[in-house]
Structure 1
Amino acid sequence: MYYCPNSPETIAHIRAKHKIHFEGKALSVDEFEKESGVFYLPFSRYRSIKSYHRIVRQCKRLVNLDAVERESLWLGTYHAKELNSAWVQPMHIRWVSEELGYGAFASRPIRSGAFIGEYVGLVKWYAPFDLNSNAYCFRCPSAPYYWIRYTIDAQNYGNEIRYIKHSNTPNCESRGVCLNDFFHVCLFAMRDIPAGEQLCYDYGKFSEGTRKKLVPIP
């Protein structure tokens, strides 16, 4: 049973209110899960309460060592409301092709620098040769010198951000954001994005080989 530090009431409230625009339909979370086969997570879940607190200690150690970029700290404070409410930029999910599968498209114009959303999933141990690694695994930005590292696996659990594909000419970028001494992987717009444009980013920044590049978007 995976552990989530957020309250069950908060999660239930978000799931009850949230709508996912999927293949031209505004679906409830339950409807989306039935249509897509993906369990919707507003926030990441952790392998156990023990592993969650281990990650917390790793993050706090980096902060105490003054090893966290000021921009990461500022972004965490500035976007605290979005992170705490699991807010995601309005987007619609639709089928692109056999090679790419589903993609995410901006539902309205997005300004440069805008918060897109947090990459969430099941947080589990990371091993370089893990046979269970998949195309939706994204390395947690915690202390690199710790023996035990973690990855965010959004293959079967996650939010709309899991549908944002790789591109060599991206319009979004991933950043490590620090809020209350804890790190989050978030996406931000690199430029103004018009409504209807497919959202994409370079998987390389935090992936280190775990967030695999599927089929590049030209």
Structure 2
Amino acid sequence: MMMLPIHSRFPPMTQRIRARRSPIHGRGVFALADLAKGDCVVRYRGELISHAQADERYGDDGESGHTFLFTLNEQYVVDGNRRGNVARWINHSCMPNCQAVIEISAGGDPRRDRILIEAVRDIAAGEEITYDYGIVLAVPHTAAMKRLWPCHCGAARCTGTLLKRRRRTEGGHARVECKM
């Protein structure tokens, strides 16, 4: 397995993707060129904070219905509201063309783990980039809560909400084979 410097693995995003108005919701991110299945589209960036800091900043009741917080691992969250990049504008879809992949630090330092957005199929230039947010909250998923977290993806199999019924496997997968 070959590790490449970040600047080699992540070419300038403006050459591949751009944020603009989205028919799904608010702003979205769109491919400027064709992307192949397996391509690392972008790294999700923002301020690295603890889960406790995230709760202090934004509360832990899940009642905002909007977030740029992305769980990195058991210790940390990436806050795209602060020092975030274009990746924070990627919309959710119930039938996404990308997935979020956690790249585990080779040295075992959880502060060095990274979130990559990877294409799960070929994406045509002009197509909106999406992934399944899979939001899991600590509070029960009531009808009112689902209305706070609506999905507008328009997919044939749309669930109507960004929320997931049960917790996904914690951790993520170390992946450095993404094609650039």
1:185 aligned partner: 115
Q: TM (normalized to structure 2)?
A: 0.62
Whichever structure has more strand as a proportion of its residues is 1
Distance 1:105 1:79, change over 3 A: farther
* 1:79 to partner: Cα distance: 5.4
| Identity across matched positions, percent | 26
Say which structure, 1 or 2, has more relative contact order (CA 8 Å, 6+ apart): 2
Matches of 2:117 and 2:136 in 1, distance apart? 17
1:217 aligned partner: 153
Unaligned ranges ≥5, structure 1? 1-73
What does 1:131-210 correspond to in 2, within 5 Å?
A: 132-133=57-58, 135-141=67-73, 144=74, 149-181=75-107, 182-204=112-134, 208-209=136-137
* 1:136 to partner: Cα distance: 0.3
Unaligned ranges ≥5, structure 2? 59-65, 139-147, 155-180
Q: TM (normalized to structure 1)?
A: 0.52
Q: How many residues align?
A: 133
Q: In the TM superposition, what whole-angstrom CA distance separates every residue of 1:122-147 from its partner, at most 9, and x where no partner exists? A: 11121398252361001112xx4xxx
Distance 1:136 1:213, change over 3 A: farther
Q: CA RMSD in A?
A: 3.0
Distance 1:159 1:214, change over 3 A: farther
Distance 1:80 1:125, change over 3 A: same
Matches of 2:54 and 2:17 in 1, distance apart? 34
Q: Match of 2:88, SS?
A: helix
Distance 1:112 1:86, change over 3 A: closer
Whichever structure has more helix as a proportion of its residues is 1
User: Residue 127 of structure 1 is aligned with which of 52, 65, 71?
Assistant: 52
Q: In the TM superposition, what whole-angstrom CA distance separates every residue of 1:78-137 from its partner, at most 9, and x where no partner exists? A: 55445776743611211125x721110000000001011111101112139825236100
